[in-house]
Amino acid sequence: MTRIAEVAQDKLKLNKHFKLVHILWLDSRGASPNWQYIDDDEPQLIKCHTVGYLVHEGKDAKRIAPHIIEDEDGDVQVTGDMVIPNVAILKMKTIE
């Protein structure tokens, strides 16, 4: 089997365990660096787009990881993961 075929096979194996998803969610806005009057700004939330493997789907939150590996022993590791509260999620779509 060629190396390209091996990588494609590994991708198929991981996709059977973890869905690749796109999540649209609301995030808070950062603290202002200066003093400002209360009436100066209408508070706004930020719409965020996150794409990654859905590695955990709980009753309170989802954990998304953009980088995922499977080592020689079959153990899976992730990096760059993010936890998004379910109450902040506007939409989630599986990427085929």
- pLDDT value, residue 35: 82
3-class DSSP assignment, residue 84? strand
pLDDT of residue 4: 46
Helix (H, G, I), strand (E, B) or coil at 79: strand
Closest to 50 measured CA to CA, from 31, 24, 27, 68: 24
Number of separate domains in the chain: 1
Q: Would the pTM of this model clear 0.85, i.e. be above it? A: no
Residue 19, pLDDT score: 92
Please list the ranges in the chain whose pLDDT falls under 50: 4-5
Give the per-residue pLDDT at 58: 96
DSSP string, 7-51: HHHHHHHHHHHSEEEEEEEEEPPPPPSS---GGG-----EEEEEE
What is the predicted pLDDT for the residue at 46?
Answer: 92
The predicted structure's pLDDT at residue 14:
61
Domain span holding position 85: 3-94
